[in-house]
Structures are given as structure tokens and as C-alpha cells.
């Protein structure tokens, strides 16, 4: 049985004026480093740095032709052994978490046919993709379940879209080499969908990057970092109001600020360990957590720290050195670490300085013998033209990200709003012209990692200062901190149509902190 249109409207009707967060609500906010509340699982925690790191398999195309490479992915329920000796039911792309990695070439189009064997509708979004609107994974562009007994979301009925268990996504990939990721984006249910396992890497490569001589092959490690909580029997815990994730929206009371887990997984393995040679490695960090921010540091530190070479939208103009990296949900940091600076046998721990105890630990590298290394880190990586924000006609808009209230089925519930409005597919916060540059001033009340679909942006300022140390390069997600203002410049190019921008704290996103922009 699907939600009726009326129930839905009732849910979205604003219950009075948006209010500030009450004190009881604030008590759920863990420290000041993430907006969210820790969900304590019943499973006993596995030992740290015992299980070997895994690298997600690279997906082979089912065929290649003049139109590009064609992939197929089946979304299904599967059993994984994540905690040693326990079985965990996941929702996985091809039944695995993380899903298989897609490796593509800039400018060579691909198609991905998704088949949905899950008990719920899903939506597939390629995060960071410069994708036509009909393939971007708009929150109501469902891949409906093959099993037709599953209740359909009313939006599918309304749009008459009853595609039978499959959807073909076409990606032109006219964008530079970078680390993207694909994940579930179902309206109101992205948090539980990603939490259960619907996330994978998509790496775009190009000739410009190939020519640089960066570490590659086994010395290039994609690292998807998340937090999760498990019950004593190994099942994933998520405080959803509706455990079937079919009709009732949102997380249960007290978790509206975000769900934080008590187990760290890297590529689906709890606190893994990996042996590395004494050589340079390229680490592609992705924070795929629902709500947790990380402050990554290596202990003991390498002589050159992290040498950042890229971020969300591609390579930086030149390498930048950091001794630690603050990373909000959905952000990517592409870094080089030179393990030849350590004595063979050194145990190097990746720690998270935003937390202590087990959640202050992420994974471990054990450094082996010094090895031959012909990789380089050139002084110039690519060219980044600053967007022209000074010419007449550049539109400046203000987007406010605040907590508020909604009336849901006659219950007053906490919510998250943009410019005072909850998400509605029919309301656009901006209508930028194709190829125009706009300045968006982002104003926030709490931690809100703000993500814009279609085009990456350049951070112009934070408060009265310039961009922060983690804002350089082409970003698609900015880490907005409590009571902060930031300005970003976006050029809307590629395609006309309707896209979303939203908070990438997935609980905030599901609780309506999303809006549309229409490229005209
Ligand atoms: Cu990673 Cu709209 O999302
Ligand atoms: Cu996205
Ligand atoms: Cu938020």
C-alpha cells in the first residue's frame, strides 16, 4: 500500500514557523565535530588492525561498442561477514559493500543498467557526475523493484513511471579525471539505503593525469570510510521510524541530527590493516558516512605529511601539504603518502582526531622494505581558471540551512530546511541560465556538508576569510560549520534541466534539507 498524495502533502505541510533547535534536541549532538548522535550497537567490537584491507573489485563492462562501455549492476540483498564470525544482511550493488568500482575514461560515455532485486524502490546517483538530468538520479527517478508485490512510492504512480525493475543510466563523463562515487538517493530514504550498503566508487581517468607519473596500480588505494552500528547478531542497526524503509519517513526521535555509528569500516572492513612497500602511494579518501566528519592524521607522521593532489572535482593546480585533513560526508581527498620515509616494520596508524577511543582510529599501514619507485609528484598538476565572478550580471543568491519543524501525520517533527522550506519537487531555489556563473552565499546553523549536483564549484570565502585549507580546487561538497557563512562560485554548464542541491548529512537530507535548481 502506497502513501496517498494527501498523506504526503500532510507530511510536508509546515507546522508553524521554523524554530531554533530546542535544548533537548541539542543533547543529541556529539561534541562539536559532527552534527549527530551515536548509535551504540550490541555487537562486541572486533579487534583493531587485525582484518586485512580489501579493495573493491573493478567492474568489467558487459560489452563495448561505438557508443561506449556498457555495465550491468544488480542491487540485491546479500549476507556479508563484516564482524568476524557474524553474518550481516546488507543491500549491495551486485550484493557487495562497497559496490564494485567503475573505472571510466574522461569523455568516453558509459551506460549502467541497474536491476533492483531489493524489497524497496531505489534511486541511483553518480555523485560528482556531470550528467544529463534524466540520468542524474533525481530523488523520485526510481528503479522500481523487480518484485511487483512491493508497495510503490506514490511519486512513481504519479509520474506513470513503472519501468520494470530496471533503469539504464547514461553518463557522458565529459569531465576531468577524479574520484566519484555512486549511491542510493531515494527521496526521504537515502540515509537507510546507504547505511545498508548502497555505495561504490567510480574513478574517472584521463590522459592528462596519466602523463603525470603519479603512483598507480597496487600503489593506488581507494579508501571508503564509514561508521556503522551492529546488533549482537551482526545485523546493521539504523534508528528508522519504519524499519521496512517503505513508507514512514525519517529517523526515530533523538537521531534527527544524524546517525553516528560505533564501528569504523574502511572498504567494508572494520579497522583494517594493510602492508605497504617503502614507496609513494596514492590514497583516494572518500567519506561515505551518513553524518560523521573525520579529521585524518597519520601517526607517526610521514616526513612530508599528506600531499594533497586532488579533491571532489579533479586534480588541484599544484600539490598542497597537510599534516591532517578534515573531511565532511561525501567529500574526497586524493593524497600521496611517501612510506619510504619510515623504517621498515613501522606501524603507521590513520587516526581520526575528531574522536577518541575506537572511533578515533581508522586503519593501519605496516611499512615493508624500501622498494623501487619511479612515481613522481609534479609541481604543476593541472590548470584551474578561477571562475569570473566580477563581471556584470553575476547573480548572487543566499541559501540558508536551518533546523525547523514539519507536521507529519499530525505529529510535530523536527526537520531541516533550506530558506525556510522543506524539499518539494516543485519548488526551485534558483533558475540559473546555462553557462552562467553564480555566487551562492551559504549560511548555516549547524554542521551541514552542502552538495550541489551537476557542476563542481570554487569556494570564494568563509566568513570574512578566504577559502579554508580543505576548500581548494573544484569541490562538489563544502563542509559548512555551525553558524558559518561561506560563498561559492558555480558555473552551470553541460545540461539544462532540474537538479537538486542538499545537505549531505543523509539524515538532514531525508528530513527535507534539499532543494532544486533548474538550469534554463
Ligand atoms: Cu552524494 Cu545528491 O548526493
Ligand atoms: Cu551528487
Ligand atoms: Cu545538514
Structural domain boundaries in the chain: 5-32, 63-210, 217-370, 395-519
How far apart are the CA of 299 and the centre of ligand 2, in A? 32
- Closest-lying ligand 1 atom to the alpha carbon of residue 128: 1
User: Residue 448 CA: which ligand is closest?
Assistant: 3
**How many whole angstroms separate alpha carbon 231 and alpha carbon 69?**
41
How far apart are the CA of 446 and the centre of ligand 3, in A? 7
SS3 81: coil
Which numeric CATH code is attached to 217-370? Answer: 2.60.40.420
How far apart are the CA of 127 and the centre of ligand 1, in A? 5
Task: Check if CATH label 2.60.40.180 holds for domain 395-519.
Answer: no
Task: Quote the cell numbers at residue 424.
Answer: 518539494
User: Residue 287 CA: which ligand is closest?
Assistant: 1
Contact 441, 396 (CB under 8 A): yes
**What's the pLDDT score for residue 413?**
78
How far apart are the CA of 278 and the centre of ligand 2, in A? 36
Task: Quote the cell numbers at residue 295.
Answer: 579529521
CA distances from 32 to 22, 28, 42, 513 (A): 16, 11, 25, 20
CA distances from 64 to 58, 126, 379 (A): 16, 20, 36
C-alpha closest to that of 421 among 434, 410, 430, 431 = 430
How far apart are the CA of 253 and the centre of ligand 1, in A? 24
Query: b/e for 101-129, b at 16 or more Cβ within 10 A?
Result: bbbbbbebebbbbbbbebbbbbbbbbbbb
- Closest-lying ligand 1 atom to the alpha carbon of residue 509: 2
User: Residue 476 CA: which ligand is closest?
Assistant: 2
pLDDT in tens, the chain (520 residues): 333 322 333 333 332 223 333 333 433 344 458 889 999 998 889 999 999 999 999 999 999 999 999 999 999 999 999 999 999 999 999 999 999 999 999 999 999 999 999 999 999 999 999 999 999 999 999 999 987 776 666 666 555 556 679 999 999 999 999 999 999 999 999 999 999 999 999 999 999 999 999 999 999 999 999 999 999 999 999 999 888 888 888 788 889 999 999 999 999 999 999 999 999 999 999 999 999 999 999 999 999 999 999 999 999 999 999 999 999 999 999 999 999 999 999 999 999 999 999 999 999 999 999 999 999 999 999 999 999 999 988 999 999 999 988 776 667 778 899 999 999 999 999 999 999 999 999 999 999 999 999 999 999 999 999 999 999 999 999 999 999 999 999 999 999 999 999 999 999 999 999 999 999 9
Task: Quote the cell numbers at residue 439.
Answer: 555566487
How far apart are the CA of 137 and the centre of ligand 2, in A? 9
**How many whole angstroms separate alpha carbon 116 and alpha carbon 243?**
19
**What's the pLDDT score for residue 149?**
72
Q: Do domains 63-210 and 217-370 have the same CATH topology?
A: yes
User: Residue 329 CA: which ligand is closest?
Assistant: 1
How far apart are the CA of 275 and the centre of ligand 1, in A? 33
- Closest-lying ligand 1 atom to the alpha carbon of residue 139: 2
How far apart are the CA of 513 and the centre of ligand 3, in A? 7
How far apart are the CA of 411 and the centre of ligand 2, in A? 31
Contact 265, 48 (CB under 8 A): no
Residue nearest ligand 1's atom 1 by CA: 127
- Closest-lying ligand 1 atom to the alpha carbon of residue 500: 2
**What's the pLDDT score for residue 414?**
84
- Closest-lying ligand 1 atom to the alpha carbon of residue 453: 2
- Render 439-492 in DSSP notation, one character per residue: EEEEEESS-EEEEESSS-EEEEEETTB---TT--S-BSEEEEPTT-EEEEEEE-
With a Cβ cut-off of 6 Å, ligand 1 is lined by 125, 127, 183, 185, 330, 451, 453, 500, 502, 504
> Which residues lie near ion ligand 3 (Cβ < 5 Å)?
448, 503, 505, 508
- Closest-lying ligand 1 atom to the alpha carbon of residue 477: 1
Q: What are phi and psi of 10, to 5 degrees?
A: -60, -40
Residue nearest ligand 1's atom 3 by CA: 127
Which numeric CATH code is attached to 63-210? Answer: 2.60.40.420
Place of cell 533548474: 518
- Closest-lying ligand 1 atom to the alpha carbon of residue 514: 2
- Closest-lying ligand 1 atom to the alpha carbon of residue 330: 1
User: Residue 445 CA: which ligand is closest?
Assistant: 3
How far apart are the CA of 482 and the centre of ligand 3, in A? 10
How far apart are the CA of 124 and the centre of ligand 3, in A? 21
How far apart are the CA of 449 and the centre of ligand 3, in A? 6
User: Residue 401 CA: which ligand is closest?
Assistant: 3
User: Residue 139 CA: which ligand is closest?
Assistant: 1
Amino acid at each position: 500500500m502506497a502513501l496517498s498524495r494527501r498523506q504526503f502533502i500532510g507530511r510536508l505541510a509546515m507546522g508553524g514557523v521554523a524554530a531554533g533547535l530546542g535544548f533537548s534536541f541539542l543533547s543529541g549532538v556529539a561534541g562539536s565535530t559532527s552534527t549527530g548522535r551515536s548509535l551504540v550497537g550490541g555487537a562486541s567490537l572486533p579487534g583493531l588492525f587485525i582484518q586485512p584491507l580489501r579493495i573493491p573489485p573493478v567492474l568489467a563492462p558487459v560489452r563495448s561498442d561505438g557508443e561506449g562501455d556498457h555495465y550491468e549492476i544488480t542491487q540485491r540483498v546479500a549476507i556479508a561477514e563484516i564482524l568476524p564470525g557474524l553474518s550481516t544482511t546488507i543491500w549491495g550493488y551486485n550484493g557487495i559493500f562497497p559496490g564494485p568500482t567503475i573505472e571510466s575514461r574522461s569523455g568516453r560515455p558509459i551506460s549502467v543498467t541497474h536491476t533492483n532485486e531489493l524489497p524497496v524502490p531505489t534511486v541511483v546517483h553518480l555523485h560528482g557526475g556531470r550528467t544529463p538530468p534524466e540520468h542524474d538520479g533525481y530523488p523520485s527517478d526510481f528503479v522500481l523493484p523487480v518484485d511487483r508485490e512491493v508497495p510503490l512510492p506514490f511519486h512513481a504512480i504519479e509520474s506513470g513511471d513503472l519501468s520494470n525493475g530496471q533503469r539504464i543510466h547514461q553518463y557522458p563523463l565529459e569531465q576531468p579525471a577524479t574520484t566519484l562515487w555512486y549511491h542510493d538517493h531515494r527521496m526521504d530514504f537515502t540515509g537507510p539505503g546507504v547505511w545498508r550498503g548502497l555505495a561504490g566508487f567510480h574513478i574517472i581517468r584521463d590522459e592528462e593525469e596519466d602523463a603525470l607519473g603519479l603512483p598507480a596500480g597496487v600503489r593506488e588505494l581507494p579508501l571508503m570510510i564509514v561508521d556503522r552500528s551492529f546488533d549482537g547478531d551482526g545485523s546493521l542497526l539504523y534508528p528508522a521510524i519504519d524499519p521496512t524503509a517503505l513508507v514512514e519517513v525519517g529517523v526515530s526521535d533523538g537521531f534527527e541530527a544524524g546517525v553516528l555509528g560505533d564501528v569504523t569500516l574502511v572498504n567494508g572492513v572494520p579497522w583494517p590493516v594493510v602492508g605497504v612497500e617503502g614507496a609513494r602511494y596514492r590514497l583516494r579518501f572518500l567519506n561515505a558516512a551518513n553524518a560523521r566528519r573525520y579529521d585524518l592524521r597519520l601517526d607517526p607522521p610521514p616526513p612530508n605529511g599528506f600531499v594533497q593532489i586532488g579533491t571532489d572535482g579533479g586534480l588541484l593546480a599544484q600539490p598542497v601539504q597537510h599534516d591532517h585533513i578534515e573531511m565532511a560526508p561525501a567529500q574526497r581527498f586524493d593524497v600521496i603518502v611517501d612510506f619510504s620515509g619510515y623504517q621498515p616494520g613501522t606501524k603507521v596508524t590513520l587516526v581520526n582526531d575528531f574522536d577518541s577511543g575506537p572511533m578515533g582510529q581508522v586503519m593501519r599501514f605496516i611499512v615493508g622494505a624500501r622498494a623501487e619507485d619511479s612515481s613522481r609528484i609534479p609541481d604543476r598538476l593541472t590548470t584551474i581558471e578561477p571562475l569570473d565572478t566580477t563581471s556584470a550580471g553575476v547573480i548572487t543568491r543566499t541559501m540558508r540551512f536551518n533546523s525547523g519543524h514539519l507536521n507529519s501525520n499530525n505529529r510535530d517533527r523536527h526537520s531541516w530546511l533550506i530558506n525556510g522550506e522543506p524539499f518539494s519537487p516543485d519548488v526551485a531555489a534558483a533558475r540559473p541560465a546555462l553557462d552562467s556563473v553564480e555566487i551562492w552565499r551559504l549560511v548555516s546553523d549547524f554542521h551541514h556538508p552542502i552538495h550541489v549536483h551537476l557542476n563542481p564549484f570554487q569556494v570564494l570565502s568563509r566568513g570574512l576569510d578566504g577559502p579554508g585549507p580543505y576548500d581548494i580546487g573544484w569541490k562538489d561538497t563544502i563542509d559548512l560549520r555551525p553558524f558559518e557563512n561561506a560563498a561559492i562560485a558555480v558555473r552551470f554548464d553541460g545540461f539544462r534541466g532540474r537538479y537538486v542541491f542538499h545537505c549531505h548529512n543523509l539524515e538532514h537530507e531525508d528530513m527535507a534539507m534539499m532543494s532544486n535548481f533548474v538550469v534554463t
